Structure 1
Amino acid sequence: MSLLPKLLAGLTPPPINVPEEYDGLEFRWKALTFRPAYFEKEAALLAVLLFYVAVWWFGSSRNKRAATKWLDVYYPTYEKQFSRTVTKHGPLTADGYTDYFSYCTGRRNIASLHTVFTFRPRHDLFQYVFQMGRQLMDLQYRPRDDLQLDFTLAPGVLAHDFVFAIVTKEELASIKDNRWDLTLTKATENPNIPATYSVMSEFADITDGVLKVLGPLINDEKIRPYFRSLSITDQPRDRPSRPLDPEEREKHVVLNVVMPSASHMKDLQTFVDGLFTFIDSLSKVHLRPETKSKLKKIREGLDKDLKADAEKDKKEEVEQALQDRKAAKKKAEEERIAKLSASEQRKIWKKRRKGRCVVLKVEWFRSKEEGGR
């Protein structure tokens, strides 16, 4: 029992040393006295915490307001084009505090439209400061608020399978790292588009056919400060792990832009309206028979490569599973032997050594016979 008082004494914090004379600021209420000078560290920690909470609140609110503002401006367009649209001020699906989504469906030639907002992490002070520091060190790194309009085309709208994109030249260095489908294309210049853009296409007549349908829409001056890429694709943007079944194949028209500020939201209005007319006219894109044949061979080659990779991955998984089972069986056997007596363990190790010697002799005779031949 004598150890308990000593243990409690060791755990008890030392008393606060309050000097008898105190001439600083203090607040008194009946028997209670508060002297701020004794809580300078706590006050500093509280100030840091409140600052972090304020940054989180203002940052997350700003991102949500920007997404809501877009829906406020473009709601009439969505309502006009689709039978099932977002409602005013929603529904806006959030994934954390940087990613927001909206969905529309029910239109001829367009199966669905996903509006995807990707904002900078203004709610997270440390991530935001990291981005600013990296931007100073890496000139190719440009964090920004992104907006993507992903149109899933209805079956039969685009008769041909191809990949085509118009991309700003500053995006060329990195876009293929994020878009597997665009690795099928080659980047070229074209006099029919602004000099700051490049064409990424599989064949020249694809470019001619799409630009003929796209017309002057791509030369809209208001969109240039925000434009990043406009693509038409029959392939997934991420490399699939296996060949896709026919019912899984989709064709998309994808617009990527930098999110405009609240005062410039309407700058994209003409371009967004024109995209619906452009999609309705995609059936007018005609290709030469030899181009169609080449595109078909390319798709067959892709499916063959994907199938080979899938089989290889499956084989590696099976081999790994066999190795894991062997390792588990060996471990269980070793644990079983470890529980036996010393004499029984010696018998088992002796038997194993004899087995190894027999195997070595068989291999030696086999190699000798092969050498004699």
Structure 2
Amino acid sequence: MRRSQRSWLAIALALAIIATVLCRVAYAAEFDDEDEDDDYYTPPPAPSSGLGSLFSSFFPPPAAGGASPGTPGSGQSGRIGMFATAVAQDWRFDAVAVSVLIVYGVVWWLGRGKNSTFATEWLRTTHSVWSLNFAEIGDGKAHTLMVESDREFLFWASGRKSVVSVLGRLKLLPRHDVVLGFIYNWLFPAYDTLELTVELPKDTGDDFVFSIMSNKLAAKANERFDMTFPRTRTHPTINPATHTLQTESSEYSDLILKDESVKEFFKLMDTKDGPGGLWLEELTLSDVPKIRPVDTEAFDSFKPTLTAVFRLPPSLASGPAKTEDGESDRRMCIKQIEFVLDCVDKWSNEGRGPLLLNDTKSKVKKARDAAFQDIAKKTEEKRKEEQYKSKADLKKAEEERLAQLPLEERRKAERKLAEKERERELKKQRKKGVSRVVM
């Protein structure tokens, strides 16, 4: 048993005991309030087993014939006696509290195991594609799949032509959490997804923005910085009922979507519905970031990136495929990876460099230059605003300092400041070519 699992079970047991104690205290207080006017008290028989026996050993009821708890001279608190009574009589609370925690723990255990099986099966299914195309897989320490949390797993690969690195993130359903899983299913449809972020080398392919998104996601992406460059277009390969195509030129669409392997992927998606009716949520190839850069340096240093988000088949949580549908799901997982690599190869022209026409390139460059100038302008405005604010703060601090000086010293300091101000004005006038200054 892992240390984290042992810790969780220890915490669950502690919570069960705490919950039981709190229930007993609350119940005992209510019982005590109801019987506080009784003149006589007859203790119940002590329980022979269970939590009631445990607590009765710490808080024993008074002996038969003794003074009633809570009465003068009894020497024993009525609340303690009632607590023992509650423990003896209301054992059902013990069973309910412990049962709920046990059920929650079992569900957590099974759900966590299913997510682990899901991630392992995905890696086993796609490992041949990764090992065939990349020289390095994982973190270099025999950890091919890294655990981020109970529902998130990371994958990393590098060492391929026209690719700097690939970061994969498996985001799975919260199968281990009953409450969170219920909220997910109730508020919005949720699916197991794979997000691939492929960092591409600069100057290897053409600069442009090309995106295929689900219609629902495209409606929310209007405020993204990279989506301000392309416009919506149509293409025979893309089904407008499910996906939206956005690109800066139809030349980009033809460059990628006319490839036979890419066409095959979209045909496969049409023949077999994915989770919620979709397999592909997003494919975006862009030379500009999603979020507006804070300065021109961040804009220039951004590397071209391909981002892909796929929905994964739930059957992966059951382990190796045992049916034809399961085999079909695993073929789709392989096709998803191959589809991304095909798009990278088309972007880089199989590593031979850009393909686009000069006219298209000049239009893209013009759009990038305009964006660069706009960012530079706003950066300069922000710098001047901060500079003005800094000068205003310094001036205010100087005025406060002068106000605290004696009258003679303050006048002397003000004359010096006035002379410095006149000298600055003279320098400005000389720069503008003005030879005569009115004093």
Query: What is the rounded CA distance, in whole Å, between the counterparts of 1:260 and 1:88 in structure 2?
Result: 29
Rounded to whole Å, the distance in 2 between the matches of 1:65 and 1:83 is 26
CA contact (8 A) 1:68 1:90 kept: no
2:163–2:199: 8 Å Cα contact kept in structure 1?
Answer: yes
Question: Counterpart in 1 of 2:290?
Answer: 237
Deviation digits for residues 88-136 of structure 1 (CA, Å, limit 9, x no counterpart): 993333334333211100111211111112234444544433333323x
The answer to whether 1:150 aligns with 2:215 is no
Equivalent residue, structure 2, for 1:103 = 156
Give the Cα–Cα distance (whole angstroms) in 2 for the partners of residues 168 and 68 of structure 1. Answer: 27
2:300 aligned with 1:254:
no
RMSD: 4.1
Q: Do structure 1's residue 198 and structure 2's residue 244 form an aligned pair?
A: yes
Contact 2:256 2:343 in 1 (8 A): no
Number of positions where the alignment pairs a residue of Structure 1 with one of Structure 2: 317
Q: Deviations over 1:307-345 (max 9, x none)?
A: 223333444555666777889999x99xxx9xxxxxxxx
Relative to structure 1, is the Cα distance of residues 118 and 162 closer, same or farther in structure 2, using a 3 angstrom cutoff?
same
Aligned to 1:175: 221
Where does structure 1 lack aligned partners over 5 or more consecutive residues? Answer: 1-12, 136-141, 338-346, 352-373
Give the corresponding residue for 1:282. 347
Aligned partners of 2:230 and 2:247 also within 8 Å? yes
Q: Check the 8 A contact 1:103/1:112 in 2, yes or no.
A: yes
Q: Quick one: distance in 2 between partners of 1:131 and 1:166?
A: 26
Matched, 1:62 2:107: no
Q: 1:164 matched to which residue of 2?
A: 210
Matched position secondary structure for 1:200:
strand
CA distance in 1, matches of 2:123, 2:290: 26
Percent of aligned pairs sharing the same letter = 21
Q: Offset at 1:164? A: 0.5
- Contact 1:193–1:218 under 8 Å retained in 2: no
In 2 relative to 1, CA 303–220 (structure 1 residues): closer, same or farther, beyond 3 Å? same
Note the C-alpha offset of 1:187: 1.5
**Cα distance between partner residues in 2 of 1:327 and 1:40:** 72
Identify if the C-alpha distance between structure 1 residues 156 and 311 changes in structure 2 by more than 3 Å, giving closer, same or farther.
closer
CA shift in 2, pair 1:198/1:325, >3 Å: same
* In structure 1, distance between residues paired with 2:385 and 2:94: 57
Measure, in 2, the Cα distance between the counterparts of 1:244 and 1:39. 69
Query: 1:40–1:269: structure 2 CA closer, same or farther, 3 Å change rule?
Result: same
1:67-78 to 2 correspondence within 5 Å?
67-78=119-130
Q: Is 1:272 aligned with 2:337?
A: yes
Find out whether 1:185 has 2:230 as its counterpart. Answer: yes
Q: CA deviation at 1:245?
A: 5.6
What residue number does 1:298 align with?
A: 367
Q: In 1, Cα distance between the equivalents of 2:255 and 2:102?
A: 58
Secondary structure (helix, strand or coil) at the match of 2:296 reads coil
Q: TM-score, normalised by structure 1?
A: 0.69
Unaligned runs of 5+ in 2: 1-27, 36-40, 61-83, 317-325, 411-439
Q: Report how far residue 36 of structure 1 moved.
A: 5.3
Q: In the alignment, what sits opposite 1:210?
A: 256
Aligned to 1:82: 134
Report deviation, 1:269.
1.4
Contact kept? 1:115, 1:148, Cα under 8 Å = yes
Identify the residue that residue 342 of structure 1 maps to in structure 2: none
Task: Find the counterpart in structure 2 of residue 138 from structure 1.
Answer: none
TM-aligned CA deviation for residue 241 of structure 1? 1.4
| Cα deviation, residue 148, structure 1 | 1.3
Following TM superposition, by how much is the alpha carbon of 1:234 offset from its aligned partner in structure 2, in angstroms? 0.9
Shift of 1:247: 7.2
> 1:198/1:89 Cα in 2 relative to 1: closer, same or farther (>3 Å)?
farther
Stretch of structure 1 that moved more, 44-53 or 265-274: 44-53
- Rg larger in structure: 2
Deviations 1:243-263 (CA, angstroms, capped at 9, x unpaired): 246872311222211122214
Instruction: Please identify which structure carries the higher strand content.
Output: 1
With over 3 angstroms needed to count, the CA separation of the structure-2 counterparts of 1:291 and 1:65, relative to structure 1, is same
Q: Distance in 2 between matches of 1:100 and 1:320?
A: 46
| Paired residues of 2:310 and 2:336 also in contact (CA < 8 A) | no
Specify whether residues 46 and 163 from structure 1 end up closer, same or farther in structure 2 by C-alpha distance, changes over 3 A only: same
Are the counterparts in 2 of residues 242 and 310 from structure 1 also a CA contact under 8 Å? yes
- Counterpart of 2:413? none
Q: C-alpha separation between the residues in 2 aligned to 1:322 and 1:126?
A: 55
- Normalised to the residue count of structure 2, the TM-score between the two structures is 0.60
**Distance of aligned partners of 1:227 and 1:24 in 2 relative to their CA distance in 1, 3 Å threshold:** farther
Contact 2:151 2:172 in 1 (8 A): yes
1:311 alignment partner in structure 2: 380
Whether contact under 8 Å (2:308, 2:340) holds in the other structure is no
Residues 71, 89 of structure 1: 8 Å contact kept:
no
